[in-house]
Amino acid sequence: MHQLFAIFLFFMCFKFVFEFILEKLNQSSYENKEEQKKVCHKLGIDKTDFQKTLAYTRDKSAFGNLSSLINLGLLLGFIYLGGFSLLESFAVNFSGKYSHTLFLNEQIIEGLFFFFLFFVLSTLVSIPFSYYFTFFLEEKHGFNKQSPASFFSDLIKSSLLGIILGGVLISLLLKAMTLGSLWWFFAWALLSLFTLLTSWIYPSVLAPLFNKFSPIEDEKLKKGIFDLAEKVDFKTSGIFIMDASTRSTHGNAYFTGVFGEKRIVLFDTLIKNLNSNQLVAVLAHELGHFKLKHVRYALIRSLLMSLALFYVLSLCLPMEDFYTAFGFSKVSNYAGLVVFSMWFSFVNFVISPFMSFLSRQNEFEADAFAVNVTGNEKDLGEALINLSKSNHSMPIAHPLYSLVHYSHPPLLERLEAIKFSL
Ligand SMILES: [Zn+2]
């Protein structure tokens, strides 16, 4: 076994064991009877409701552990048994045959075909997991509203979209990688432009491929929302209701878009669970993210991060070991991208607690913003509790678990922070 691959193997196993221990710690927290009693009392959750949440949490945790174990085994086995070198030889063959008919550089065709095969393979592997999750796990707990036909039509649509957008992006990146010693800067600039462009067309072009968006009809709610938008001086290109209920009963709201295309989207499932004052409070929270520039800073952070990553990639690219460790037979730009993305999962593991921390700070700030704008903590507090109940979200977490994984603070902490009590 190549030394570099042995290090990779060690990291991946370490990461798995770490996550597993964290999961067990968390389990011991929410299975604790005393803790359960205390939290249920504080949040006004009755015993039957809590039992439902507990059953859902247990099933999700078991599914998560098993699927990450299988995925880790498959990935490491695939690399160890020469999967990459097999895909590489298919790609070399394909490009040899077709590059003169496809009007593209041979290297780019080879890379595109390689990524296509890898994409098809990983999609095929992921289908049984997402099928089980939707039609067994979510179904069992009453959340699933999707039919197998719509599941597969979603899958086909998103795969085609992935192939088209991914194909364009990869061709651009592979082209940029041939542009001399500053290629990493050009590649970064292209990726940034591409990201901005796709987020710009996302609300009006991409999202409607999967869901229907309709304007709000409820007059009272509409007035509440427009008053709110005016109060915080927010210019939106529209507030829409999304037919999330065609897939699942989980409720949510989000804010989407860049430049002039700013949309607020409410899931129809959210509207079913909250009254109009609570909905306005949830929207005020979402607007808070925008007004406090969380959205902008997150974008800047991710741009800076990808700049650093491209620079590091440019240092790794000339090293032959970088490729041979993962079974590639030759140095190529596309193999460089693939191997780097493998190592990235470790980078991500290290930085994700910091990212979660920043995100939780933002959530507290957006909550405070919402309380300030709506003039009371009651609406937001009740909305958060209702949402947590209807989504069967577990309100108890081990501090270490929430520190690493939670992008949103635990419910009790959020309620305490806005000084809400039942
Ligand atoms: Zn938020």
- Containing H/E element for 256? strand 253-256
Q: How many A from CA of 366 to the centre of ligand 1?
A: 6
Question: Among 372, 362, 363, 361, which Cα is nearest to 228's?
Answer: 372
Q: How many A from CA of 35 to the centre of ligand 1?
A: 26
> Which is catalytic among the residues 110, 138, 363, 367?
367
Residue 260: what pLDDT?
66
pLDDT band for 262, please (50, 70, 90 cuts): confident
Residue 44 has which token pair? 């006004």
Going by DSSP bridges, is the β-strand pair 263-267/238-242 parallel, antiparallel, or unpaired?
Answer: parallel
Are 64 and 19 in contact by the 8 Å Cβ rule? The answer is: no
Give the C-alpha separation, 253 to 264, whole Å: 8
DSSP state of 32: -
Q: How many A from CA of 363 to the centre of ligand 1?
A: 5
pLDDT single digits (tens) 340-365:
999 998 899 999 999 999 999 999 99
Give percent of the chain above pLDDT 70.
98
- Alpha-helical regions (H) of 202-293: 219-231, 268-273, 276-291
**pLDDT > 80? residue 90:** yes
**Residue indicated by tokens 């520190």:** 403
Mean pLDDT of the 95-102 span = 78
More confident residue, 262 or 62: 62
Residue 102: what pLDDT?
67
pLDDT single digits (tens) 111-123:
999 999 999 999 9
Q: How many A from CA of 113 to the centre of ligand 1?
A: 39
Report the half-sphere exposure of 174 (CA within 13 A, side-chain side).
24
Give the C-alpha separation, 355 to 155, whole Å: 29
Q: How many A from CA of 285 to the centre of ligand 1?
A: 6
Are 411 and 43 in contact by the 8 Å Cβ rule? The answer is: yes
pLDDT single digits (tens) 127-153:
999 999 999 999 999 999 999 999 999
Give the C-alpha separation, 63 to 69, whole Å: 10
Q: How many A from CA of 281 to the centre of ligand 1?
A: 11
More confident residue, 96 or 237: 96
Residue 338: what pLDDT?
95
Would you call 81 helix, strand, or coil by DSSP?
A: coil
Alpha carbon of 367 to those of 158, 263, 309, 359: distances in Å? 33, 20, 33, 12
Give the C-alpha separation, 30 to 398, whole Å: 8
**Residue indicated by tokens 């927010």:** 234
Residue 250: what pLDDT?
83
Mean pLDDT of the 164-182 span = 94
**How many CB atoms sit inside 10 A of residue 221's CB?**
21
Give the C-alpha separation, 155 to 163, whole Å: 12
Are 197 and 251 in contact by the 8 Å Cβ rule? The answer is: no
Mean pLDDT of the 255-277 span = 82
Average pLDDT, the chain: 92
- Containing H/E element for 307? helix 294-316
pLDDT single digits (tens) 196-234:
899 888 888 999 999 999 988 888 888 888 889 889 888
> Which is catalytic among the residues 286, 363, 377, 379?
286
Distance between alpha carbon 120 and the CA centroid of its chain, in Å? Answer: 20
Give the C-alpha separation, 68 to 1, whole Å: 23
Q: How many A from CA of 302 to the centre of ligand 1?
A: 18
Residues forming beta bridges with residue 255, ordered by sequence position? 264
Residue 422 has which token pair? 């039942």
Give the C-alpha separation, 387 to 253, whole Å: 11
Q: How many A from CA of 151 to the centre of ligand 1?
A: 28
pLDDT single digits (tens) 378-399:
999 999 999 999 899 999 999 9
Q: How many A from CA of 294 to the centre of ligand 1?
A: 10
Annotation marks residue 286 as catalytic: yes
pLDDT band for 31, please (50, 70, 90 cuts): very high
Q: How many A from CA of 147 to the centre of ligand 1?
A: 30
**pLDDT > 80? residue 288:** yes
**Residue indicated by tokens 């359960």:** 36
